[in-house]
Structure 1
């Protein structure tokens, strides 16, 4: 990951544990091992979203003097950075997901034969239609309910992320016009209003891949950045509106998720807050910061994107083959979880390590070279 001069290593550790949460959460789901919180990998995705909102707002403000918000060139450079961060690895794994989609669907059917509650429409993995391929190559699939959840990759959140990147410069223009607090509340309320004005459209999504469903959490991450930048709890309080708005939107939300999402926002803010030295708060924050900045945590952060995109292509075949060839489904659920974790974690992280160095980093470097050739004169759309 490209690091800014104010980069904090805790963020990489958080990213690493968020991806591990999603990986283990999917193992829990597909082996029917109901470990509290871990059984909901969507919470790990929410943590990713908070981190994304935080980093985009922080880096955009850090670069404001060199890259003015109202400049078209700033927008172009921002979009190019994000495209080359996301697209190279995504396109590579998308090819594998489409080519071997039928086999992944068969494995998914075998898993469902053991645990019917895990069943999904297996044919969605093998959709080679022009519309499905084109919508994924252009990242517009997240807007289209029928194609938003159509490969073995957990790419519904990738489409969501790209929608956020598309909107982000315009969100910052709104913030420049109305201020951070008012703009954030207005945007979250707009999402809530859209939910009730377009209920059929929102309900049609099998996963929350459309930006208005999750935009409040991206904004919450941005508010965390503002709270830390200005050392004001006020912005943290506004960030806590996001889970409440999500709960009111009634899309895969319940009271437990509401509480956990609030705790994620508070914990992330406390972790990144810069307290005075030798205070009780600084002592409390020392231990999680120490954990998140260990070499293993930073490694998990480095490969987190590869792990996130890749892991289902490892987990689903491993479980499917175990169910098909052994008495795996009759084992106690904790044993099933441990067996699959013991096989999938080393394989996933080994491949992810290779992809990080051979695909992600070269992709980022290519993006830098493209950006370096961009014109430097700002082209403003504002007087």
Structure 2
């Protein structure tokens, strides 16, 4: 992602932590190693969601003078920017996942036989039907329960992200009319009302890919952005309404996971807060800020999207190979977990670095070129 003014390197570090969490969590689930918190990769996705809400709000506000919110051109530019950030690499990985769908279904079946608690419907990996491919190419799959969880990729969250991008400019426009706090709290209230008015719709999705299931977490990220920008604790308190909403929605979230969501909001805000006076809190967050700003963690952030899309395509075949040839099901859960991580991590991060440079960055550059050309053409058309 391109840098903007007041850029915090900690943001890249947090993205790296989120992708690493999902990567390690999926391995823990697949080898049946019950590591508290780590073995809940959906919490890593929640961290991604918080970061998305934060970054979209921060960047949108910082560009407001050059890109007025009420301009249709601003909205189109925002959508194009986000599309080319997400789509090029996703299409490459989707092609690989669909091409290898039958093989990935086979290796996933091997894992399910060894660890029955991990069993899933593997036929979804090899669905090459026209509508499955079309819904994934257009990103509408996340709104359709039968297609929302239908490839070997963890792409349900990308469909969720695209829905947020679609709504975000209009939410920001509403903040101009109703105020920031009232608008975002109202959205959270509508989120909860929808759960009780249309419970079957919320329960229909195998993963929380429909925007109303997770919109409150994006909203929490938006509140955090304004809390940091304005240095207002009230917005941190309002962001903490998000875990309350998670609890009220009651969709595959237990009390521990809701508590972790609250701790993520507090921890992320503390890391990004501009501590102007030395004190206990500034000292408390000094070490995590230093760690997250380190070049290792910023590199993890750079390749985080590639890691997120790629990792299962490597992890599942490796685990199946270890089960077939090294019988790791007979080993302790900790031993098979460490062995799998040790083999997969260098492969995943090496390939992710290549994908980041050769696909992801080129997609972003292409998007910038298209936006610049459109702006130049419209300027030429408007000249007297």
Q: Does the alignment reach a TM-score above 0.5?
A: yes
Aligned to 1:185: 185
- Describe the SS at the equivalent of 2:374: coil
Residues in 2 aligned to 1:84 and 1:377: alpha-carbon distance in whole angstroms: 20
Aligned to 1:123: 123
Aligned to 2:24: 24
Residues in 1 aligned to 2:33 and 2:174: alpha-carbon distance in whole angstroms: 45
Q: Which shows bigger deviation, 278-287 or 190-199?
A: 278-287
Question: How many angstroms does 1:277 deviate by?
Answer: 3.6
Residues in 2 aligned to 1:17 and 1:36: alpha-carbon distance in whole angstroms: 16
- Describe the SS at the equivalent of 1:150: coil
Residues in 2 aligned to 1:186 and 1:355: alpha-carbon distance in whole angstroms: 40
Say whether 1:94 aligns with 2:94.
yes
Instruction: Extract unaligned runs of 5+ from structure 1.
Output: none
Residues in 1 aligned to 2:260 and 2:282: alpha-carbon distance in whole angstroms: 23
- CA offsets, 1:225-269, max 9 Å, x none? 011111111011110111111110111111111111000001111
Residues in 2 aligned to 1:123 and 1:211: alpha-carbon distance in whole angstroms: 26
Residues in 2 aligned to 1:341 and 1:283: alpha-carbon distance in whole angstroms: 33
Residues in 1 aligned to 2:203 and 2:239: alpha-carbon distance in whole angstroms: 25
CA 1:213 to 1:378, structure 2 compared with 1: closer, same or farther past 3 Å?
Answer: farther
Aligned to 2:294: 294
Aligned to 2:210: 210
Contact 1:33/1:333 (<8 A) preserved = yes
Q: Which shows bigger deviation, 146-155 or 197-206?
A: 197-206
Aligned to 2:161: 161
Question: How many angstroms does 1:278 deviate by?
Answer: 2.7
Aligned to 1:80: 80
Residues in 1 aligned to 2:196 and 2:350: alpha-carbon distance in whole angstroms: 45
Say whether 1:242 aligns with 2:214.
no
Question: How many angstroms does 1:281 deviate by?
Answer: 2.2
Q: How does 1:3-18 map to 2 (within 5 A)?
A: 3-18=3-18
Aligned to 2:219: 219
CA 1:202 to 1:280, structure 2 compared with 1: closer, same or farther past 3 Å?
Answer: same
Residues in 2 aligned to 1:302 and 1:359: alpha-carbon distance in whole angstroms: 13
Aligned to 1:365: 365
Contact 1:228/1:274 (<8 A) preserved = yes
Aligned to 1:316: 316
- Describe the SS at the equivalent of 2:375: coil
Residues in 2 aligned to 1:22 and 1:75: alpha-carbon distance in whole angstroms: 31
Aligned to 1:196: 196
Question: How many angstroms does 1:376 deviate by?
Answer: 6.7
- Describe the SS at the equivalent of 2:146: helix
CA 1:376 to 1:221, structure 2 compared with 1: closer, same or farther past 3 Å?
Answer: farther
Aligned to 2:60: 60
Say whether 1:228 aligns with 2:228.
yes
Aligned to 1:71: 71
Question: How many angstroms does 1:284 deviate by?
Answer: 1.8
- TM-score, structure 1 normalization: 0.97
Aligned to 1:141: 141
Alignment RMSD: 1.2
Aligned residues: 379
- TM-score, structure 2 normalization: 0.97
Contact 1:148/1:205 (<8 A) preserved = yes
Question: How many angstroms does 1:132 deviate by?
Answer: 0.2
